[in-house]
Amino acid sequence: MPYAAEPTRRSVERLTDASAVPLWLDTADRPAPTAPLGGTEQCDLAVVGAGFTGLWTALLAKQADPQRDVVLLEGSRVAQGATGRNGGFCSASLTHGLSNGHSRFADELPQLLHLGEANLAAIGAAVAELGIDCDWRLADDLLLATDPHHVADLAEAAELAGRYDLSAELLDADQVRERVVSPRYLGGLLEHDGLALVDPARLAWGLRRACLDLGVRLFEGSPVTGMTTDGAGMRLTTPAGSVRARRVALASNAFPPLLKRLRSYVVPVWDYCIATEPLPADVLAEIGWAGDEGLADASNQFHYYRLTADRRIVFGGYDAVYYRGNGFGAHLEQRPATAALLVEHLTQTFPATAEVGISHSWGGAIDTCSRFSPFWGTASGGRVGYVAGYTGLGVGASRFGAAVMLDLVDGRDSELTRLAMVRSKPLPFPPEPVRGIGIDLTRRAFDRADREGGRRGPWLKLLDAVGLGFDS
């Protein structure tokens, strides 16, 4: 049965006391920001943006060459962007799932799967070696059938996983119930070895600490407002200073980009989450969830959810909202209608949570591109590199994205830079108003397909035919 299209008044009321600060950032452990950039600096490599991509870029650059002078410029604070706002699902997938990878990069997918596994393992190893306390846990990925047509979709996904020798187990409703109990579950697909759950902000703060320890010069509160060529290098300007850098790595994700060309490839799509208070023992017992899985349902407009270390449920997704004209800003971080719908859907999923408080409600922007997986490039004669387009699956892929970007700005011919995925670009989005109309049409078509037994209507079929389709 599809999820409710409207929240009840009760679901709206349950948000009254929810904090608007993302759960992960709402702690006294958040490190105080560094001083902003002032005056004129020089460096070998300047990284713009200190989310996961920028932090990994700075860290990997320093680890490879401790003598390299690296400056990291962050407009706000470390992890203030998507990095501190996500569900904390750290996936091995570099292609936003197997099905998307298969439809776009089938020839090199075995290599991409191998690189993705190595990337996830490297993040785990860094967490251990750097002693980052971030609730890092390897977990199973459990994709749930919540509508009858999902059962066949999951069987198809299991068959595809088998073709790539991935361990994926089809579960019937009783087998799902052994792991987690919901009246909505009709079956599941359990995937092993491809996921870790993490507290994303603590991971980012651990990477921040590691960068500082290695001598990265971090300037928070330093938005880069201009980027120009300067002799053989580049000059970056902030409100109170400037940096001349031999090379620049852009890690600004869904934020308005410094490079104009990125505007046609990336649209900010807003995704929202809620978190409950820690679940009382009797509620947890009724749900029967030990919390060793990251959960998501198999709808086009899907929910993703997981338990935290202190046994809250973080529940997000479903509505993905585009605001015309690449709408962006802190004023979009709250969307009460979507938050109330998430409360409603959480209660439909787990009726036992009906009386549990909702502690946090927040949103963030996803750097959506038309191939739903990252892309890279260089500008200004190779002096500037960029990566963007993770489309909501960048917690893990951002480390890979950073490694590729470093190879590109350093002009290295490597296994990574030779990948077709790295050498190709997504199709650009059309300008407004066609852009907004197309995204609205797609969202409505997804909703209709979810409510009509998964049948993809003419618009989704057209997108599939031109290579713009996405089937979660």
Ligand X SMILES: Cc1cc2nc3c(=O)[nH]c(=O)nc-3n(C[C@H](O)[C@H](O)[C@H](O)COP(=O)(O)OP(=O)(O)OC[C@H]3O[C@@H](n4cnc5c(N)ncnc54)[C@H](O)[C@@H]3O)c2cc1C
Pairing state between β 70-73 and 303-307: unpaired
Euclidean distance between CA atoms 181 and 445, whole angstroms:
30
In angstroms, give the least distance from the CB of 365 to ligand X. 6
Q: How far is CA 205 from CA 73, 273, 289, 322, 468, in A?
A: 15, 21, 29, 29, 36
CB of 364: closest distance to ligand X in angstroms?
3
Q: Which is nearer to ligand X, 52 or 302 (CB)?
A: 52
Query: Which of 271, 450 has the CB closer to ligand X?
Result: 271
Q: Rule CB under 6 A: choose which of 59, 258, 321, 340 binds ligand X.
A: 258
Give me the 43-62 binding string for ligand X, x by CB under 6 A, dash otherwise.
-----xxxxxxx--------
Q: Which of 23, 59, 82, 218 binds ligand X (CB under 6 A)?
A: 82
Binding test (CB under 6 A) with ligand X, winner from 18, 23, 43, 73: 73
> Would you say the C-alpha torsion 5, 13, 311, 92 has a positive or negative sign?
positive
Residue found by looking up tokens 């002799």 in the block: 231
3-class DSSP state for residue 185? coil
Peptide linkage before 433 cis (omega within 30 of 0) = yes
Is residue 385 within 8 A of residue 250, CB to CB? The reply is yes
Task: Tell me the per-residue interface mask from 210 to 229 with ligand X, x by CB under 6 A, - otherwise.
Answer: -------------xx-----
Helices (H), 374-468: 397-409, 420-423, 434-451, 458-465
- The one segment of 25-33, 358-366, 378-386, 420-428 that binds ligand X by CB under 6 A: 358-366
Closest distance to ligand X from the beta carbon of 397 (Å): 7
Counting residues that bind ligand X (by CB under 6 A) gives 41
The whole-angstrom separation of Cα 467 and Cα 26 is: 40
Report 86-105 residues binding ligand X (CB under 6 A).
86-89, 91
CA torsion sign, 72 to 73 to 77 to 78? negative
Q: State the minimum distance, in angstroms, from the CB of residue 16 to ligand X.
A: 21
Q: Name the minimum Å distance from CB 48 to ligand X.
A: 5
Q: Which of residues 297-316 bind ligand X (CB under 6 A)?
A: 316
Among 205, 219, 255, 289, binds ligand X (CB under 6 A): 255
Near ligand X in 395-414, by CB under 6 A:
395-396, 398
Nearer Cβ to ligand X, position 118 or 152?
118
The secondary structure of 366-387 as a DSSP string is: EEE-TTSS-EEEEETTTTEEEE
Cβ of residue 453: shortest distance to ligand X, in angstroms? 28
Per CB under 6 A, the list member of 11, 14, 37, 75 interacting with ligand X is 75
Q: List the one residue from 18, 59, 71, 81 that touches ligand X (CB under 6 A).
A: 81
Identified binder of ligand X from the candidate list 62, 68, 85, 435, rule CB under 6 A: 85
Is residue 248 within 8 A of residue 385, CB to CB? The reply is yes
- Dihedral pair phi/psi, residue 466, rounded to 5°: -95, 10
Q: How many CA atoms lie less than 13 Å away from 302 in the CB half-sphere?
A: 20
Compare residues 94 and 284 and give the one whose CB is closer to ligand X: 94
**Cα separation, 366 vs 391, whole angstroms:** 6
Nearest distance from C-beta of residue 227 to ligand X, angstroms: 9
Binder to ligand X among 116, 194, 392, 426 (CB under 6 A)?
A: 392
Is there binding between residue 168 and ligand X (CB under 6 A)? no
Site for ligand X in 118-147 (CB under 6 A): none
Sign of torsion over alpha carbons 414, 419, 421, 424: positive
Q: How many other C-beta atoms lie within 10 A of the C-beta of residue 149?
A: 16
Q: What minimum distance in Å lies between the beta carbon of 96 and ligand X?
A: 9
Nearest to ligand X of 141, 153 (CB atom): 141
Cα Rg of the chain, angstroms? 22
CB of 280 to ligand X, least distance (A): 25
Half-sphere exposure in the Cβ direction for 27 (13 Å, CA): 13
Candidates 84-92, 333-341, 425-433, 455-463; binding stretch for ligand X (CB under 6 A): 84-92
Extract the tokens encoding 412: 């290295």
Q: From residue 233 to residue 252, what is the string marking binding to ligand X with x (rule CB under 6 A)?
A: ------------------xx
Determine the 3-state secondary structure of 168 from DSSP: strand
Percentages (nearest 5) of helix, strand, coil residues in the chain? 35, 25, 40
Instruction: Name which of 43 and 393 has its Cβ closer to ligand X.
Output: 393
Which residue lies nearer to ligand X by CB, 276 or 456?
A: 276
Residues near 445 by Cβ (< 8 Å), separated by ≥ 6? 456, 457, 459, 460
**Taking contact as CB under 6 A, which single stretch among the options 77-85, 213-221, 336-344, 378-386 is the one that binds ligand X?**
77-85
**Sites of contact with ligand X (CB under 6 A):** 48-54, 73-76, 80-83, 85-89, 91, 223-224, 251-253, 255, 258, 271, 273, 316, 364-366, 390, 392-396, 398
